[in-house]
């Protein structure tokens, strides 16, 4: 069901002119939004800059790019099951006095290890893995003014490093560094009188011959508006399956999550591997592991009743690609109590399989630890933000926080072409915050939101797909155009038309492209399997 923009004569009024904006996160969504302060081709950016808005971009890593940056290091496996979205990614550090600066000097042979551990818990490594490539055509993964044209599906797929390079080049072109605070994590965001307060923590290290000094700067800054662009692949989701905690206590090394997957070789010598989840991560990783393990089981659940035909096709594609190398099984009923050295898992159909390693490819929670007071169970139904793994609450157009639309959560939708869609969201935010479009009144947004929640399951509320996504983009474009006309600013802003015909033609070939991508992978995996078999024979 689309997000209708309610026809209203009452509008939400900006409570103050938006002059200062905090953007949290320098991934594809934060970067695209943040170009607002640079001299670039985006009308959104020029308008914000020309209006004198000051943007500060907070990024906990030392670079832009978000999930696309490959890191060999892995995040720690969370306590399983990991249930509270606000707890899994990181624990906000709110005990110290804000503002303040603390310095700690580390010496001796453990110094590097101690400092690395602090750095890893400050900015945990992301989900990129050695063989990760894009799974939607690269011509759909670009921002305005920096296209990635390629005609044939054979040319659409690149390794993660190419996407990271694209994002870094984009950031350099638009001088993102001039407004970025890298190595700076946001610990808390809260409403204050006339705006938003942001508590942040900057982590810096300096080394000399015999010591390393860690300097932590705790800062507090106020803004007129805040954009959360922190992505939704930071907090690994693991289901609450009976027996899981006992397995983690007994065999911590046998359990992992897709967030920490780096390469199939890490499963060399395993007999039976169970991958829970057959989405993009599960199906990709199971195929990589199947080169090195004797048996790989992958769980698949029945489709949701309100999965769109498009969603069903995509889910089926990811399952089908497993057929030649893995065994599809129903999902897990319980982990049988550890006994001896062999782990046993009972499946929903009553069958029991022996398993010596389990990889949870069960997705990620939407998680905003810095908005902890707004997370589920902390506040009322109409103000809380995160409901479950799949649902961010109280958003208009999946973007504006309805109780106070000077807060935006950018990048929430799934099954979309992230880069281009997030850029459209950025245009929308900029126009609203520049008084070039007005949102409907809060009661009208609440009514539209209630209608949508009533019509779509929590699982699918942010899931779009190749029909719904362009439709929403067209609706946003036409609404922004009509608002510009109504407010008499159409001469100052670009007329928007939604995705181009060329873009849509590539989008229509997404599933065909996946087939081409998989065929290339099949050849690579078959070669790796042969090489591994030859190594085993020689050993």
Ligand X SMILES: Cc1cc2nc3c(=O)[nH]c(=O)nc-3n(C[C@H](O)[C@H](O)[C@H](O)COP(=O)(O)OP(=O)(O)OC[C@H]3O[C@@H](n4cnc5c(N)ncnc54)[C@H](O)[C@@H]3O)c2cc1C
Contacts with ligand NAP, residue ranges (CB under 6 A): 132-135, 239, 258, 276-282, 284, 299, 301, 315, 331, 361-363, 414
23: tokens are 């953007």
Q: Which of 22, 23, 24, 385 binds ligand X (CB under 6 A)?
A: 24
- Asked if 275 interacts with ligand X (CB under 6 A), we say no
Binding site partner of 139, from ligand NAP, ligand X, none, Cβ cut-off 5-8 A by kind: none
In sequence order, which residues have a C-beta less than 8 Å from that of residue 220 and are 6 or more positions away?
A: 98, 99, 197, 198, 199, 200
Task: Measure the CA–CA gap between 131 and 281, rounded to whole angstroms.
Answer: 12
**Scanning residues 109 to 148, which ones bind ligand X (CB under 6 A)?**
123, 127, 132, 134-136, 141
Task: Measure the CA–CA gap between 55 and 450, rounded to whole angstroms.
Answer: 33
- Asked if 229 interacts with ligand X (CB under 6 A), we say yes
Q: Residues 143-182 vs ligand X: string with x where CB under 6 A?
A: ----------------------------------------
3-state secondary structure of 295: strand
Give the residue with the Cβ less far from ligand NAP, 280 or 338: 280
Q: Which of 60, 257, 315, 462 binds ligand X (CB under 6 A)?
A: 60
Cα 280 to Cα 165, 182, 336, 340: the distances in Å are 23, 30, 28, 34
Give the residue with the Cβ less far from ligand X, 74 or 185: 185
Report the side by side order of strands in the sheet with 211-223.
100-107, 211-223, 195-208, 184-192
Span interacting with ligand X, options 53-61, 210-218, 235-243, 439-447, rule CB under 6 A: 53-61
Give the residue with the Cβ less far from ligand NAP, 89 or 224: 89
Task: Measure the CA–CA gap between 490 and 120, rounded to whole angstroms.
Answer: 48
**Scanning residues 386 to 445, which ones bind ligand X (CB under 6 A)?**
411, 417-418
Binding site partner of 398, from ligand NAP, ligand X, none, Cβ cut-off 5-8 A by kind: none
Matching residue, tokens 């759909």: 140
In sequence order, which residues have a C-beta less than 8 Å from that of residue 244 and are 6 or more positions away?
A: 80, 81, 238, 255, 335
Task: Measure the CA–CA gap between 513 and 87, rounded to whole angstroms.
Answer: 38
- Asked if 464 interacts with ligand X (CB under 6 A), we say no
Q: Which of 18, 22, 43, 58 binds ligand X (CB under 6 A)?
A: 58
Task: Measure the CA–CA gap between 47 and 519, rounded to whole angstroms.
Answer: 45
- Asked if 189 interacts with ligand X (CB under 6 A), we say no
Give the residue with the Cβ less far from ligand X, 43 or 231: 231
Give the residue with the Cβ less far from ligand NAP, 174 or 321: 321
Query: Which residues are bridge partners to 401 per DSSP?
Result: 395
CB of 322 to ligand NAP, least distance (A): 11
Q: How many residues sit in the footprint of ligand X (CB under 6 A)?
A: 32
Binding site partner of 24, from ligand NAP, ligand X, none, Cβ cut-off 5-8 A by kind: ligand X
390: tokens are 């799949």
CA angle 432, 438, 443 (to 5 degrees): 115
- CA 225 centroid distance within chain: 22
């Amino acid at each position: 069901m689309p997000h209708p923009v309610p026809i209203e004569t009452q509008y939400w009024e900006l409570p103050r002119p938006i002059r200062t904006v905090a953007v949290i996160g320098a991934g594809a969504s934060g970067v695209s939004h943040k170009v607002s302060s640079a001299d670039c081709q985006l009308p959104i950016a020029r308008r914000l800059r020309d209006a004198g808005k000051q943007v500060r971009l907070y990024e906990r890593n030392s670079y832009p790019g978000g999930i696309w940056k490959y890191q060999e290091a892995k995040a720690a496996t969370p306590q399983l099951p990991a249930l509270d979205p606000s707890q899994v990614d990181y624990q906000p550090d709110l005990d110290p006095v804000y503002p303040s600066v603390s310095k700690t000097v580390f010496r001796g042979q453990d110094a590097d290890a101690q400092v690395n551990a602090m750095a890893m818990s400050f900015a945990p490594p992301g989900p990129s893995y050695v063989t990760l490539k894009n799974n939607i055509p690269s011509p759909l993964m670009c921002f305005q003014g920096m296209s990635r044209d390629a005609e044939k599906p054979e040319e659409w797929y690149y390794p993660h490093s190419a996407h990271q390079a694209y994002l870094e080049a984009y950031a350099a072109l638009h001088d993102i560094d001039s407004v970025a605070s890298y190595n700076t994590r946001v610990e808390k965001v809260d409403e204050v009188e006339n705006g938003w307060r942001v508590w942040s923590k900057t982590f810096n290290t300096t080394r000399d011959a015999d010591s390393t000094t860690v300097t932590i700067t705790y800062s507090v800054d106020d803004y007129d508006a805040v954009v959360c662009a922190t992505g939704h692949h930071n907090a690994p989701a693991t289901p609450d399956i009976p027996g899981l905690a006992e397995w983690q206590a007994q065999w911590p090394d046998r359990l992992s999550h897709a967030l920490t997957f780096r390469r199939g070789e890490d499963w060399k010598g395993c007999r039976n591997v169970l991958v829970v989840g057959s989405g993009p991560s599960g199906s990709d990783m199971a195929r990589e592991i199947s080169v090195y393990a004797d048996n790989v089981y992958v769980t698949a659940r029945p489709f949701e009743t309100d999965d769109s035909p498009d969603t069903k096709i995509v889910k089926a594609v990811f399952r089908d690609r497993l057929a030649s190398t893995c065994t599809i099984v129903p999902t897990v009923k319980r982990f049988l109590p550890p006994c001896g050295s062999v782990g046993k898992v009972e499946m929903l159909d009553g069958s029991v399989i022996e398993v010596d390693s389990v990889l949870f490819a069960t997705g990620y929670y939407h998680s905003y630890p810095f908005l902890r007071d707004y997370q589920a169970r902390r506040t009322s139904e109409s103000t809380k933000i995160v409901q479950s793994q799949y649902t961010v609450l109280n958003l208009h157009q999946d973007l504006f926080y309805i109780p106070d639309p000077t807060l935006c959560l950018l990048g929430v939708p799934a099954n979309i072409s992230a880069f281009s869609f997030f850029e459209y969201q950025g245009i929308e935010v900029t126009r609203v915050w520049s008084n070039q479009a007005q949102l409907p009144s809060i009661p009208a947004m609440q009514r539209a939101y209630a209608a949508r929640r009533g019509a779509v399951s929590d699982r699918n509320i942010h899931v779009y797909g190749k029909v719904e996504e362009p439709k929403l983009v067209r609706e946003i474009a036409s609404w922004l155009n009509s608002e510009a006309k109504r407010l008499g600013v159409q001469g100052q802003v670009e007329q928007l038309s939604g995705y181009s015909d060329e873009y849509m033609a590539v989008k229509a070939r997404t599933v065909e492209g996946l087939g081409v991508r998989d065929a290339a992978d099949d050849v690579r995996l078959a070669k790796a399997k042969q090489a591994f078999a030859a190594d085993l024979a020689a050993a």
